[in-house]
Amino acid sequence: MRILQVTHRFFSRSGGGSYVIRNLSKSLQQRGHDVTIICSNYHFEQEYIGELTKTGVTVIPFQVQWNFGQFYYTKDLGKWLDQNLETFDVVHI
């Protein structure tokens, strides 16, 4: 099954949401699913995703054009979704 995880930010200090997505994605990949995470590049940490990418999880960060509080606008993420969304069986937001 192809699974897409969507989050507004993905870094170690962001806490619960990033932690859950990281561990859930790793576990799903180990069970044989094809997992992709898309996120903004806000405080993005390559080291944080290192273990995931070694197991086959794909992580795609998108450039933040601007942010307002907890809202991160990433124009290219929307374009990517338009082109790729139909290739996934499950989308977890």
Q: What is the pLDDT along the chain (93 residues), one digit of tens a residue?
A: 999 999 877 766 666 777 788 888 999 999 999 999 998 887 777 776 777 778 889 999 998 888 777 777 888 999 999 999 999 999 998
Partnered with residue 58 across adjacent β-strands are 36
Please report the pLDDT score of residue 48 as a whole number: 66
Whole-angstrom distance, CA of residue 45 vs CA of residue 67: 18
- Hey, is 11 helix, strand or coil? coil
Please report the pLDDT score of residue 66 as a whole number: 82
Q: Which long-range contacts (CB under 8 A, 24 or more apart) does 56-61 make?
A: 56/29, 57/25, 57/26, 57/29, 59/10, 60/36, 61/10
Please report the pLDDT score of residue 76 as a whole number: 92
Please report the pLDDT score of residue 80 as a whole number: 95
